[in-house]
């Protein structure tokens, strides 16, 4: 292993989130417009390039890889990439290989993912109502996702549900979702909606449901105990004393936990974003493609990028406008 990646604020970078495609079989209203234009295939990193990039990061101290997108499981031949990462789990250099998925393809891939060494998956699910599910995802169908979750649990994968908190949309399902997850032994994390990308006419400020409000609603029915657990990201956890269930809150906007940030994000075209809330990025595809047999220029580009990791993000919801809006889509950077 080469020297670990430490940024100017003495944060060790041990977590890489990798978007393997910008494509998706859903069109969630807060994420994409219905008529998205996707990147031409030649722009995307190949499986070999993804392998080389991730392996370089692992050599430089990354211990956790989260594969995301777009929808990672719609990328053609994606198991080739997961299977290639197994060697890093086996060597002990990589501690965790995981993914965030909409669940639509899990029925097909759950067994293969477990065999590749994946032990946990995050499945995004905002509602348990079939009609509302079709409305929010536009192209998604709830039964298919529920079958995917069944398959994942049957294969031995631990499932965590991620729910975007949307005012006027799933407020009324707070306890339904909590109870459903408890019955299936799944943790649940709520995410505040973020101002990313042009998604057409959706009114995101109207959708914004402050998680402090959500937490207060939860506390009306449950005793909540704050957990000390930290993942180096903008998530905080509580335990519901009655069920023992863990509930997470991801609040990138109304809180700022940047001082413990341990992560960077790689897009499917090889751009490295040092902060989800900032536009600055480094192109890693050029050193990768220009030097097919020498990783030194790639390592140098990674180190130069980490040296520019900002202290924190610039998101700010004000009364009248959404400032610090980030023009790229979440499906590009990987949520």
**Binding residues for ligand SAM (CB under 6 A):** 24, 30-31, 68-69, 71, 100-102, 124, 162, 164, 191, 193-194, 196, 330-331, 335
**Bridge partner list, 98:** 66
CA dihedral (235, 94, 45, 138) in degrees, to 10, reads -40
Three-state DSSP state, 238: strand
The nearest distance, CB 23 to ligand SF4, in angstroms, is: 9
The nearest distance, CB 30 to ligand SAM, in angstroms, is: 4
Q: What angle do CA 27, 128, 137 make, to 5 degrees?
A: 5
Tell me: does residue 26 bind ligand SF4 (CB under 6 A): yes
* HSE toward the beta carbon, residue 269, CA cutoff 13 A: 16
Q: Which is nearer to ligand SAM, 12 or 116 (CB)?
A: 116
The nearest distance, CB 26 to ligand SF4, in angstroms, is: 4
The site partner of 56 among ligand SF4, ligand SAM, none (C-beta below 5 to 8 Å per kind) is none
- Residue 130 near residue 169, CB atoms below 8 Å: no
Tell me: does residue 331 bind ligand SF4 (CB under 6 A): yes
The site partner of 251 among ligand SF4, ligand SAM, none (C-beta below 5 to 8 Å per kind) is none
Among 21, 54, 69, 177, which residue interacts with ligand SF4 (rule: CB under 6 A)? 69
DSSP track, 244-303: --EEEEE-TTT---GGG--EEEE-TTSEEES-TT---EEE-HHHHHH-TT--HHHHHHHH
Q: Which is nearer to ligand SF4, 56 or 104 (CB)?
A: 104
- Shortest CA distance to 211 belongs to which of 190, 233, 180? 190
Residue 92 region by backbone torsions, left for phi larger than 0, else alpha for psi between -120 and 50, else beta: left
The site partner of 98 among ligand SF4, ligand SAM, none (C-beta below 5 to 8 Å per kind) is none
The nearest distance, CB 71 to ligand SAM, in angstroms, is: 4
Among 18, 50, 63, 70, which residue interacts with ligand SF4 (rule: CB under 6 A)? 70
Tell me: does residue 102 bind ligand SF4 (CB under 6 A): yes
The nearest distance, CB 69 to ligand SF4, in angstroms, is: 6
The interface region with ligand SF4, picked from 27-35, 41-49, 106-114, 185-193 by CB under 6 A, is: 27-35
Helix or strand run (H / E) with residue 204: helix 204-207
Helix or strand run (H / E) with residue 218: helix 211-221
The site partner of 32 among ligand SF4, ligand SAM, none (C-beta below 5 to 8 Å per kind) is ligand SF4
Q: Where are the beta strands (DSSP E) in 91-201?
A: 96-101, 120-124, 158-165, 187-192
Q: How many residues bind ligand SF4 (CB under 6 A)?
A: 12
The site partner of 191 among ligand SF4, ligand SAM, none (C-beta below 5 to 8 Å per kind) is ligand SAM
Tell me: does residue 190 bind ligand SF4 (CB under 6 A): no
How far out from the chain centre does Cα 91 lie?
25
The site partner of 247 among ligand SAM, ligand SF4, none (C-beta below 5 to 8 Å per kind) is none
- Shortest CA distance to 72 belongs to which of 20, 140, 16? 20
The nearest distance, CB 199 to ligand SAM, in angstroms, is: 7
Rg from Cα positions in the chain: 19
Q: Which is nearer to ligand SF4, 197 or 287 (CB)?
A: 197
Residues in contact with ligand SF4 by the rule CB under 6 A: 24, 26-28, 31-32, 69-71, 102, 124, 331
């Amino acid at each position: 292993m080469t020297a670990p990646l430490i940024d100017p604020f003495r944060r060790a970078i041990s977590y890489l989130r990798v978007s393997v495609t910008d494509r998706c079989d859903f069109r969630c209203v807060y994420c994409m417009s219905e008529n998205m234009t996707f990147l031409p295939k030649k722009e995307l990193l190949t499986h070999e390039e993804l392998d080389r990039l991730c392996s370089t990061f692992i050599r430089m101290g990354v211990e956790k890889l989260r594969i995301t997108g777009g929808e990672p499981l719609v990328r053609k031949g994606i198991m080739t990439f997961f299977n290639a990462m197994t060697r890093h789990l086996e060597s002990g250099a990589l501690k965790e290989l995981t993914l965030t998925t909409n669940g639509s393809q899990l029925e097909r891939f759950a067994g293969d993912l477990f065999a590749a060494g994946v032990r946990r998956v995050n499945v995004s699910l905002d509602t348990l109502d079939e009609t509302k599910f079709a409305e929010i995802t536009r192209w998604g169908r709830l039964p298919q996702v529920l079958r995917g979750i069944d398959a994942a649990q049957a294969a031995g994968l631990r499932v965590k549900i991620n729910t975007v908190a949307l005012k006027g949309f799933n407020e009324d399902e707070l306890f339904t979702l909590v109870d459903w997850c408890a019955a299936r032994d799944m943790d649940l994390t709520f995410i505040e909606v973020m101002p990313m990308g042009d998604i057409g006419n959706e009114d995101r400020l109207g959708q914004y449901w402050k998680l402090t409000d959500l937490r207060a609603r939860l506390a009306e029915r449950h005793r909540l105990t704050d957990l000390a657990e930290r993942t180096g990201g903008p998530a905080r956890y509580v335990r519901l004393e009655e069920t023992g269930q863990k509930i997470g809150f991801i609040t990138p906007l109304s809180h700022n936990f940047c001082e413990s940030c341990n992560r960077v994000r790689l897009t499917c075209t090889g751009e490295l974003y040092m902060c989800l809330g900032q536009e600055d990025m480094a192109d890693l595809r050029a050193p990768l493609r220009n030097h097919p047999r020498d990783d030194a220029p790639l390592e140098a580009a990674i180190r130069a990028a980490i040296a520019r990791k900002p202290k924190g993000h610039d998101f700010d919801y004000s009364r009248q406008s959404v400032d610090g809006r980030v023009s790229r889509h979440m499906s590009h950077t990987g949520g």
